[in-house]
Amino acid sequence: MGPKRVLLPAVAFLSLLFLAGLWLPEVQLSACVRGGRPCGWLGGRGETAPPERDGKPPLLSSRLPLPRHGTLPPPRAPRCPGQGFQISRLLAAFRGCVTPEGEILLQDYLAGWKELIKLIDALGAAFGLLARETQTKMAILEGHRSGPHAPHYRTLQAMVAFELRRGRVGLRVLPPDQPPSGSRTLLRLHRALKWLELFLGKLGRSGAEEDPSQLCAEAYQAALARYHGWWVRQAAGLAFLALPSRRELYGLVCAEGEKEARAVLLDAVGTISRVYNITQQLYATRGLLELP
């Protein structure tokens, strides 16, 4: 099946990824369908879902330790003349968003996501709707940062504390008469960030014989599938088949050769992982990871 034939279901899936999937409560995982057969790599027969504890899914966390301040500077990221996505800008933004005290600066966090949107766009036309829905969520957070309560939206920690104190989060239902919650909005970006982190990590560590489409689907299964209904997950199995080749994906970081490309990707994974882990810990401590 060629990219053109899978483009329509890919668009259908990605249009729902944020509009519906990321806003759905947790659902039971089930098999996908690929060519009429279950796909084990998308939760089908032969693969079991992660075990639950106390009726809740296990928390996702990165295996990479948090870097310490004062360690050696990271390797220089290559620049890509004439290309929209710049891995160097992504790394600078996500590194800069963590303060020495371990807080997340929202301005720099959103700057990192601006580069991720460019990366998503570069994955192909089927991912355009995902990029636009991400921009919508970023606009909500930018609105809070420039609104009447802007001082409370300087850091992630301050935003969560403020919204919980003012009852702007809604632990059981969405607040009907208030602006969109920044905490809820960022949680959707947080879940998608894990998907991208896992995918880039798999791409950087896998062998040349491993299919990027399958790697992306595995990352989706681990990070996002639990928030989606059955038919959305089936469409996902087709959407990932439209991904560019491994060589094209390596080209997005403009590295000199495959070895450098892998190193740059894993450097990005470590940087994103640090931001993800801090956010995950905050939301877990506040009991916000399963917001509806």
pLDDT of residue 292: 76
- Residues 106 and 145: their CA atoms lie apart, in Å, by 8
CB atoms within 10 A of CB 169: 22
Q: Residue ranges per domain, the chain? A: 3-24+78-285
pLDDT of residue 257: 87
pLDDT of residue 143: 96
pLDDT of residue 105: 98
What pTM did the predictor assign?
Answer: 0.75
pLDDT at residue 123 tops 70: yes
Please give the CATH number for the structural domain made up of 3-24+78-285. Answer: 1.10.3520.10
pLDDT of residue 236: 67
Tens digit of each residue's pLDDT (9 = 90 or more) over 5-33:
444 444 444 444 434 444 333 322 222 33
Q: Where is pLDDT greater, at 204 or 121?
A: 204
- Mean pLDDT across the stretch 41-65? 40
pLDDT of residue 160: 97
- Residues 33 and 40: their CA atoms lie apart, in Å, by 9
pLDDT at residue 102 tops 90: yes
Highest mean pLDDT among 39-43, 63-67, 169-173: 169-173
- Mean pLDDT across the stretch 175-183? 84
Secondary structure (DSSP) of 190-211: HHHHHHHHHHHHHHHHS-TTS-
- Mean pLDDT across the stretch 180-203? 95
Structural contact between residues 222 and 198, judged by C-beta atoms closer than 8 angstroms: yes
CB burial of residue 144 (10 Å; 0-12, 13-18, 19+): buried
- pLDDT above 70 covers a percentage of the chain that reads 70
Instruction: Report which DSSP code applies to 224.
Output: T
- Mean pLDDT across the stretch 105-126? 90
- Mean pLDDT across the stretch 74-86? 73
Residue 109 confidence class, pLDDT cut points 50, 70, 90: very high
Structural contact between residues 228 and 235, judged by C-beta atoms closer than 8 angstroms: no
